[in-house]
Structure 1
Amino acid sequence: MLLIVFILLAWILWSILVKTSVGKNGKLQMPPSPRGQLPILGHLWRFDPTRPFRTIDKWAKELGDVITVYFGSTPVIVLSRQRVIREAFLKEGENFSGRPSLFVHESCWGKGHVISDGPRNSLLRRHLLAILRSKCRGVDSIQELVTVEIKRMHEYIEKQMGKNDYADIFLEDTVFYVVGNVLTQLVLGRRHEHGSIEFRESARWLDETTRLMEKSSALTFLPWLRHLPGGGLGYAEMKTQAKRVQDLMREDIHDRRRSGEYKDPSRTDLTSVFMRKIDEEMVGNEDLFSDEMLVRLMTEMFFAGIQTECNTFGWAFLYFLFYPEVQRECRQQILEALDSSEEILWNEKDRIPYLEATVAEVQRLANIAPFSMPHKNHEETTLDGYRIPAGSLIFMNLYTTLLDDHVFENAKEFRPERFLNGLRLDRARMAASMPYGIGPRMCMGESIARLELFCVIGSLLRTYSFEQTPGEKYSLDQKMELTIHPSKYRIRVRKLARTD
């Protein structure tokens, strides 16, 4: 009984201190907070467990564009809508470019690029961006890699069809080979055949890692839960899984060092280029440019690069089933713009504006990463008159921002034409959508992802039509396991009749 009384008193005292603290101008010093904050748990108990983005969206609409939500005892500043997000991540971009300490990520995977910050991280980011930019031109460019994998994907689909003119397939799994092979060649300089054992094993460890990261996500804010019986919400499994995956990466690096193949300057994969950089930086940056840092970078790129993009493809073709008129309009514009011998290339995107608008609308409405990656501000500042203490954990609330009716009329409707101005793409409206985040820490793989989405979706629409598989259930309901993804589904892929 005394314990219950103590908890209630602590809750009341905490609520008073947080909610009524005002500055000299009468404004709240800290952004407002939802009701129902409990000691230890904070507001976590109030979240929709499968749709936390809707809970945050509800509070943002009730309390404003800058709010404080307690994840356990950790105050998280949630920023919503373009005005505030641009002020923080563009106007004060460097200040808000930090990364908070994330217990599960650091203790299991180590600090690579994703959760590091400061001048050293900026140096690392510049080097990685230089490698990525170099892969956007010349021999073995990203475009060339994507084009080759698209051809292999079509061969794989044709094989599934056999003598029929259609096949019922899990298209997201099929596209996984394209995304995975492009990334494998980018990072490791090799590829695997579509449907190969190596790829099936990669898919398994990605699925298992996703499951464990979701299972252990509460440990980020309540790390003491790892001591619970039964493995502490999957923490023990996660550590084992992380070691298994990273050991594979270490073995690859060890084999390269033993053979010396990475020293060949013609090898332009990220691993070889980074290993040559390690050799150059033997003095002064051993902890930044090191084999162990490379292991972390390889792991981060594979997980972040494949999972989110495959989810986007899954949503795209699901929308095509629910909105067949969009599928037809995309295909019609592709067929009118290109002759049968032309490949769909990113640098020709201006000829097919409706396709690019459709991809943008898929990303906006699917809202794959509703909170992006957590940020941290280095110095104290103010937003909307509220004090944001230095070192605050910051969430970029993309879910509310991308569904803002003031910016996107009837925002919950799937309407690609909202990104068009007549027959041209509306670049100002495109800039209003920010699925990759904005500012100094926006997703490094944005250019690669946009190219792949445009070219892969365009090539599939040009060759096939997409229909519901009889007996299959389809839903646009959004649920979240690290990212917002659709329920797995089969789709009927039918070969288009040739008109030439």
Structure 2
Amino acid sequence: MTNGAVIESTFLTNSFYSGTGYRNRRVLTNVTSSYQSQRKTAKMLECVFNLWPESLITQAIIVGITAGFITYHIFKKRPALPPGPRGWPFIGNLREIQKGDPLELFSTWIEKYGPVITVKFGTWKVVILGRIDVVMEALVQKQEAFAGRPQTYSGDAFTAGSKDIVNGQYGPRWKLHRKLASKALRQYMTSDNLPRKISQSLNISTALMLEEHGPIDPLPFISLAVFNILYGMCFDKLCADTKDETFTFLMDSLKGLVENFGSGFLEDFIPLLRYCPTAKFRRQLKYIAALTEHIKKEMEEHKETFVYGQSRDFADAMLAAQKEAIDEEDPALLSQITDTHVVQTMGDVFFAGIDTTRNTLHWCLLVMALNPDIQKKVQEEVDSVIGRDLNVSLSDRSRLPYTEAVLHETMRIRGIAPMGIPHETLYDTSVGGYELPKGTGVMIFHQGLHFDPDQWDNVNEFRPERFLDASGKMAPKPKSWLPFSAGRRVCLGEIIARPDLHLVLAGMMRACSVSLAPGETNDFKPAIPGFACLPRSYKVVVESRS
């Protein structure tokens, strides 16, 4: 019988007669557990001592290496992140951020601490860049170092393991993936498909708007116009009205997805919840699955009818680029660009394009309603370029500089994503004189750039003329105007978004005049202060200009 067994037997016998068996059994369990733990520790130490070399020289070398290793990690220079607000334990600066408008708070901190600051989102420390010189240093001069994306559990779950372009991690596979998508977009833009889709979409949406009597919410009609352009561009299909089943299904799913994001997902911060997800996380997976399945179905239909050399839409162009790459690229690398990657790319272009474009145009229409003088100038310009049939071409854009300036000023003063999409440093680097270790989260404060008094005069004034030269033509792009970002992570869809926004705004102003509905007031402020700049719902009266 072992010593532990003897102790347990004696203890239980005495406890039985004393009537305190249950309580003492718990004490005994602790004593026994402690005893067994001590025996294991003794055996481990005995093992270590047996391995310890007898040679004094070898012992000295081991002790020296160990001491050096410990000293290095205690006293090594650790990069000091840029200054910023101190924050609270565990929650960081979240308490201040959630109290009011975080963008105004970031502006205050940048004014106090400088153009490179550190903000703590809980335990996640993020460096925010708020002036154009440090932004260009990061995104252009050191673009590869800042080309990473923070990888989160929710991000992986929602993009099939970060297989899209927006959230995918920078590397050889991502670069090939981006190359294929860029090539497909360029191929699509060489045809007249895009202006034809814009013309068709404009005719459908403006006709529906003019059929309405009395004040209307313009967002459903703007959404239909943008949806049809991108649905036509991607899959060569159109929806006839706002009650179309495909349109309502996809827009409802997209609305649910955007609204459900809110302030993020607890699964990113509490790993145990990944085994028992929250209702919010499950809802998001449901929305993602619905949207993804629709794109999969469309891509399968395209594969069945695809003919190389006959590009009907972006889906065909993507399939053609994928086919051409087979003979041009490393087969081992190309094999990693699966059908899932293609579906995720289509989702990036289609759904991200719809949401940002329709909300930008929603702001633009509000600008027209609030500023009749600006609306009149736009209409005088578009009347000389676009006919009543609303057939537009890409060449029309150069003859519509004031309309484009209105669009640029709208994106400056009411950019949809004022903080952009987070970056992450891929290796140790620096910006603005501060060292940033590998894996540092970095955000670009686009609103700070667009409201920088050193770059813009009268920053709060809506003035399209600031984008025009003395002759009334578009001036060179101001360096601090950066709604599409820059560098390796510049917006993939910019090549489509800019003509899309420009020609839709011009076409709507050619067909309609808009004014705020009687009794309607709007101060041009975002619906909710925060990381998404969206207009509040408003109603307008629409009149035909034919």
**TM-score, normalized by length of structure 1?**
0.85
For 1:207, the equivalent position in structure 2 comes to 255
Would you say the 8 A contact 2:181–2:345 is kept in 1?
no
Superposition pairs of residues 253-402 of structure 1, within 5 angstroms: 253-257=299-303, 260-263=304-307, 265-275=309-319, 281=326, 283-285=331-333, 288-336=336-384, 343-402=391-450
- Deviation of 1:76 (Å): 0.7
- Deviation of 1:481 (Å): 6.8
Q: Report % sequence identity.
A: 23
For 2:42, the equivalent position in structure 1 comes to none
- Deviation of 1:254 (Å): 4.0
Superposition pairs of residues 411-426 of structure 1, within 5 angstroms: 411-426=459-474
Structure 2 SS opposite 1:432: coil
Q: 1:262 to 1:34 in 2, by over 3 A?
A: same
Would you say the 8 A contact 1:179–1:310 is kept in 2?
yes
Which of 481, 494, 497 is the equivalent residue of 2:543? 494
Q: 1:49 to 1:461 in 2, by over 3 A?
A: farther
Q: State the alpha-carbon separation in 2 of the partners of residues 235 and 389 from structure 1.
A: 31
For 1:241, the equivalent position in structure 2 comes to 287
Structure 1 SS opposite 2:103: helix
Q: State the alpha-carbon separation in 2 of the partners of residues 303 and 220 from structure 1.
A: 24
Deviation per CA, 1:170-202, whole angstroms, max 9, x where unpaired? 222212112111211222232222322211111
Structure 2 SS opposite 1:169: coil
Would you say the 8 A contact 1:226–1:233 is kept in 2?
no
For 1:181, the equivalent position in structure 2 comes to 228
Q: State the alpha-carbon separation in 2 of the partners of residues 461 and 311 from structure 1.
A: 17
For 1:120, the equivalent position in structure 2 comes to 173
- Deviation of 1:460 (Å): 1.7
In structure 2, runs of 5+ residues without a counterpart are 1-74
Q: State the alpha-carbon separation in 2 of the partners of residues 472 and 225 from structure 1.
A: 49
Amino acid paired to 2:230: L
Q: State the alpha-carbon separation in 2 of the partners of residues 372 and 209 from structure 1.
A: 18
- Deviation of 1:312 (Å): 0.5
- Deviation of 1:284 (Å): 2.1
Give the greater-gyration-radius structure (CA): 2
Q: State the alpha-carbon separation in 1 of the partners of residues 83 and 156 from structure 2.
A: 30
Q: State the alpha-carbon separation in 1 of the partners of residues 524 and 141 from structure 2.
A: 36
For 1:54, the equivalent position in structure 2 comes to 104
Structure 1 SS opposite 2:541: strand
Q: 1:218 to 1:69 in 2, by over 3 A?
A: farther
Superposition pairs of residues 419-438 of structure 1, within 5 angstroms: 419-438=467-486
1:32 aligns with 2:83: yes
Would you say the 8 A contact 2:254–2:351 is kept in 1?
yes
Amino acid paired to 1:262: F
For 1:485, the equivalent position in structure 2 comes to 534
Structure 2 SS opposite 1:101: coil
Q: State the alpha-carbon separation in 1 of the partners of residues 192 and 319 from structure 2.
A: 21
For 1:3, the equivalent position in structure 2 comes to none
Q: State the alpha-carbon separation in 2 of the partners of residues 59 and 75 from structure 1.
A: 15
Q: State the alpha-carbon separation in 2 of the partners of residues 190 and 341 from structure 1.
A: 20
For 1:6, the equivalent position in structure 2 comes to none
Q: State the alpha-carbon separation in 1 of the partners of residues 101 and 220 from structure 2.
A: 24
- Deviation of 1:398 (Å): 0.3
1:155 aligns with 2:207: yes
For 1:457, the equivalent position in structure 2 comes to 505
Q: 1:252 to 1:144 in 2, by over 3 A?
A: closer
1:65 aligns with 2:111: no
Q: State the alpha-carbon separation in 1 of the partners of residues 446 and 203 from structure 2.
A: 35
Which of 192, 195, 202 is the equivalent residue of 1:143? 195
Larger CA deviation: 238-247 vs 366-375: 238-247
Q: 1:276 to 1:421 in 2, by over 3 A?
A: closer
What do you get for the CA RMSD once the two structures are aligned? 2.8
Q: 1:235 to 1:477 in 2, by over 3 A?
A: same
Q: State the alpha-carbon separation in 2 of the partners of residues 44 and 329 from structure 1.
A: 44
- Deviation of 1:82 (Å): 1.0
Would you say the 8 A contact 1:225–1:232 is kept in 2?
no
Q: State the alpha-carbon separation in 1 of the partners of residues 499 and 532 from structure 2.
A: 21
- Deviation of 1:387 (Å): 0.7
Structure 2 SS opposite 1:234: helix
Q: State the alpha-carbon separation in 2 of the partners of residues 109 and 311 from structure 1.
A: 23
Q: State the alpha-carbon separation in 2 of the partners of residues 60 and 218 from structure 1.
A: 28
Would you say the 8 A contact 1:378–1:391 is kept in 2?
yes
1:172 aligns with 2:219: yes
Q: 1:74 to 1:342 in 2, by over 3 A?
A: closer
Deviation per CA, 1:327-376, whole angstroms, max 9, x where unpaired? 12222233356676785544233323211111100000002111111112
Would you say the 8 A contact 2:449–2:480 is kept in 1?
no
Q: Which has the higher helix share?
A: 2
Amino acid paired to 1:31: P
Deviation per CA, 1:285-337, whole angstroms, max 9, x where unpaired? 46532122222222222221111111101111112222222112222233356
Q: 1:138 to 1:249 in 2, by over 3 A?
A: closer
Q: State the alpha-carbon separation in 2 of the partners of residues 306 and 339 from structure 1.
A: 26
